[in-house]
Structure 1
Amino acid sequence: MTPLSRNRNYRLLWASQAVSEVGFNASLIAFPLVVLMVTGSAAASGLVLAVDAVAQLLVGLPGGVLADRWNRRRVMLWSEAAQAVAVASLAVALWQGAATLPHMVAVAAVLGACRALFEPAEDASLPRIVPESQLATAVSLNAARSSVGQMAGTALGGFLVAVGRWVPFAVDALTHALAFVGLLFLRVPPSPPAERRHFVRELLDGLKWVLGRPEMRVTAWCAMTLNLFFSAYYLVIIVLAQSRGVPLGEIGVMAAMLGAGGVVGALIAPRLSALLSPHQAIAGVFWALTLLAPLAVFISNGYLMGALFAGMALLAPTANTVITTYQLLRTPDSLRGRMSGVMNVALGTAAALGPALGGVLAELLPGSGAVLLCAGGIAVITVLVTAHPVLRAYPRKDVMA
């Protein structure tokens, strides 16, 4: 069997998105700073980020339907092209000193909507690009790609905005253009023809598929709760670190070490997912968080906290690999876009609510109280995950196909 490293189509998809994600994360970190520079309003910065997130959530379910209706490669191409044009227009406006808040809000909406269209199309295309036996490895490598792109892009964005407020967006436009060119050479085997129904009916079919299967419903719940509590916990730890006088540079290292843990975890995920049962892989990440989360109460050094974050991130890619591989293999090709859309909306909602929850907890329970409450919530979910009969009966990899 041809290894993934020699799979031309997978290499094109992976490399094009690696480049695109670096540019995207560079402009994402720069966006609120630039909005603040242009408008002088912190509320405007928050508005732009909120529009991006809301657009992604609103387009998530329809995006899954379109990924199943349309040619998936074309959906990815048009998404990259639209993002390139949007950020290029903003770069030009900033260069000329003509950027306005409505323009920046519109660009944020385009970026969020395009990601909601691209992700289901990519997820649904993956099983047609790589063999089933290599799907878990491909999923884990995609996770590593995202983590590396986030770390590199975040570091690059801070530097680029110091060079010029328009520069991060010009670089982002270039990376999307390069990704577009790479995808032009991508070949995705055509999907079998599927019956077309009313758009809303097809959207509801996607929801029914996920919610009507206990194993998919439960794993979606696991992923949502994990995202919710960890997002809340992360913000609580940042607030706690600041209150304890941890230097800003060390806080930045904490975030970088979290990303590094995710990268290492993604690289070892294929081997771990082969050694562990699905239930062990999923429950393992919850147990790791349960054991590690309370330790933050006793740590006041940013580097040690970063090591703790890295440890907490290490097993998450294995659970993600197991869940995503199972979902893609068990979902018919005609429904894969919608399944991905449903999951992306669920995870995006949890990721959006998590920081809000963390902020409220940090305000109501200053100091270690918020940390212990988050850790307690994670522990309760861990017990439920460990004992859940559906997860205990989760099929092994050799019977997933």
Structure 2
Amino acid sequence: MTSLSRNRDYRLLWVGQALSEAGSSASIIALPLLVLTLTDSAAASGLVLGVAAATQLVVGLPAGALVDRWNRRTVMLVCEAVQALAVGLLVLGLWWHVVEVVHVVLVVIVLGVCRAMSEPAEEAALPAIVPEQQLSDAVAMNAARGYLGQLSGTALGGVLFGLGRWLPFAVEAVTHLATFLSLLFIRVPARQREPAPVSRFHREIGEGLRWVWKQPVVRVVAFCAVGLNLFFQAFYLLMIAIAHQKGVSAGQIGVMAAMLGAGGILGSLAAPWLHRVLRPHRAIVGVFWAITALIPVALFVEPGIQTGFLFAAAAFLAPTANTTITTYQLLLTPDELRGRLSSVMGVALGVAAVSGPAVGGLLVEFLTPAQAILTCAAGAGLLTLYATANPTLRRFSRQEDPVGSGRDGSGSSRGGRGP
């Protein structure tokens, strides 16, 4: 079997999406800085980020249904082209000094719609590009790509904005164009699809929701993942706020935050091996126990670099859990429903990503730092106990899953997606 590194289509997809994610991460940092420059208002800056998150949540479910209707490679191509055009127009507006906040909001909405479409399209197309036996390795490498793009893009965005407010957006436009060119050369086998009338569209969205609800493992993991992400996002914001209150420099806080991505990259590299040696239940609950144990340690370490090591350790096992359940979900789900499955899971985790920082802000406002940390630990701990004792997840370790038992005679692993 051809290795992933020699799989021409997967290699083109991985490199192209890595560039796109790096460019997007650069603009995520630069957009609020741009709004602050234009308005000198932190509230307006926060509004722009809120619009970006809200757009992906609102569009998420319909986007998944459209991805299942249309050619997925075409969806990715159109999304990259539209993003390149939208960001390119923003660059021209900044060059000519005619950009207002309303223009930035419009660009953010366009980018949010495109990301809501392209992410499920890529995930749904992955089993057609990668052999079934290598799907878990591809999922792990995609997770590493995401962490790498976030790290490089975040660092690049801040530096480029300091050199010129239009520069990070110019880089993003170029990365989307490069991704578009790489997607042109990817071969994705044609899907057999029955033409569906427009009147069935709302029913197709409902079919995706019902599919997720009827799969016990997917349903339980989704509930646990949303809860764990909520408490960890709250803890993440909480530790940044505590570091700021204690006078830690902005540079050190940036390094602290970046160490989360570093831990994720290392965990993604280890995920294929851990996925093979750990049974599904242990792979999933391992990240719950790790985060629950690490949060209280924040009471005893200094804010800054030491907290960054906690972030890195907490992120290390997440890619293994994600690899386990994502592979399971992709192989369990019929091809005509994979876009909707991805969009439902994306919306669920998006809710946690939006509400987690809000919860963290409330904890900072009304509790002492120690009380806030222990509250996050208690919430994560309850979810950990639930995930550990849940009979559906415990049976998942022993039941025959869509890719076999998790181990075969050759030692290869086939499995599914975690929080």
Shorter chain as normaliser: what TM range? over 0.9
Partner residue in 1 for 2:360: 358
Runs of 4 or more above 6 Å deviation: none
Q: Which amino acid aligns with 1:398?
A: G
The secondary structure found in structure 1 opposite 2:196 is: coil
Q: Which amino acid aligns with 2:404?
A: D
Q: For each residue in 1:2-46, what CA deviation from the matched residue of structure 2 results, as whole angstroms up to 9, or x when unmatched?
A: 000000110011000111111111111010001111122222212
The correspondence of residues 313-392 of structure 1 with structure 2, limited to 5 A, is 313-392=315-394
1:201 maps onto 2:203 in alignment: yes
1:117 maps onto 2:117 in alignment: yes
Q: Is the 8 A contact 1:194 1:334 kept in 2?
A: no
Partner residue in 1 for 2:216: 214
The correspondence of residues 91-110 of structure 1 with structure 2, limited to 5 A, is 91-110=91-110
**Cα distance, 1:363 vs. partner?**
0.7
Partner residue in 1 for 2:144: 144
**Cα distance, 1:267 vs. partner?**
0.8
Q: For each residue in 1:72-130, what CA deviation from the matched residue of structure 2 results, as whole angstroms up to 9, or x when unmatched?
A: 00000000011101111111101111001111110000011100000110010000100
Partner residue in 2 for 1:272: 274
Partner residue in 1 for 2:61: 61
Q: Which amino acid aligns with 1:282?
A: I
Partner residue in 1 for 2:46: 46
Partner residue in 1 for 2:82: 82
Structure 1: gaps of 5 or more residues:
none
Q: For each residue in 1:329-376, what CA deviation from the matched residue of structure 2 results, as whole angstroms up to 9, or x when unmatched?
A: 000000000000100000111111000011001111122110010011
**Cα distance, 1:195 vs. partner?**
6.3
Q: Is the 8 A contact 1:244 1:300 kept in 2?
A: no
1:241 alignment partner, one of 240, 243, 263: 243
Q: Is the 8 A contact 2:26 2:158 kept in 1?
A: yes
| Separation in 1, partners of 2:25, 2:139 | 20
Q: Is the 8 A contact 2:242 2:303 kept in 1?
A: no
Q: Which amino acid aligns with 1:115?
A: R
Q: Is the 8 A contact 2:9 2:186 kept in 1?
A: yes
Higher mean C-alpha displacement, 297-306 vs 325-334: 297-306
The secondary structure found in structure 1 opposite 2:2 is: coil
1:258 maps onto 2:278 in alignment: no
Q: Is the 8 A contact 1:269 1:318 kept in 2?
A: yes
Q: Is the 8 A contact 1:294 1:371 kept in 2?
A: yes
The secondary structure found in structure 1 opposite 2:404 is: helix
Q: Is the 8 A contact 1:32 1:48 kept in 2?
A: yes
Partner residue in 2 for 1:225: 227
Q: Is the 8 A contact 1:84 1:174 kept in 2?
A: yes
Q: Is the 8 A contact 2:124 2:342 kept in 1?
A: yes
Q: Is the 8 A contact 2:69 2:193 kept in 1?
A: no
| Separation in 1, partners of 2:208, 2:96 | 45
Q: Which amino acid aligns with 2:392?
A: V
Q: Provide the aligned length of Structure 1 versus Structure 2.
A: 401
TM-score (norm 1): 0.98
1:293 alignment partner, one of 273, 292, 295: 295
The secondary structure found in structure 2 opposite 1:241 is: helix
| Separation in 2, partners of 1:223, 1:119 | 18
Q: Which amino acid aligns with 2:348?
A: A
1:398 maps onto 2:400 in alignment: no
Q: Is the 8 A contact 1:60 1:341 kept in 2?
A: yes
| Separation in 2, partners of 1:313, 1:59 | 28
Q: Is the 8 A contact 1:246 1:300 kept in 2?
A: no
Q: Is the 8 A contact 1:19 1:175 kept in 2?
A: yes
Q: Which amino acid aligns with 2:218?
A: M
TM-score (norm 2): 0.94
**Cα distance, 1:194 vs. partner?**
4.1
Q: For each residue in 1:238-289, what CA deviation from the matched residue of structure 2 results, as whole angstroms up to 9, or x when unmatched?
A: 1122222322222111111111000000111111011001100011000011
Identity within the alignment, %: 57
| Separation in 2, partners of 1:175, 1:195 | 34
**Cα distance, 1:196 vs. partner?**
2.8
| Separation in 2, partners of 1:195, 1:341 | 21
Q: Is the 8 A contact 2:18 2:149 kept in 1?
A: yes
Q: Is the 8 A contact 2:136 2:324 kept in 1?
A: yes
Q: Which amino acid aligns with 1:190?
A: A
Higher mean C-alpha displacement, 40-49 vs 157-166: 40-49
CA gap 1:11/1:36 in 2 versus in 1, 3 angstroms = same
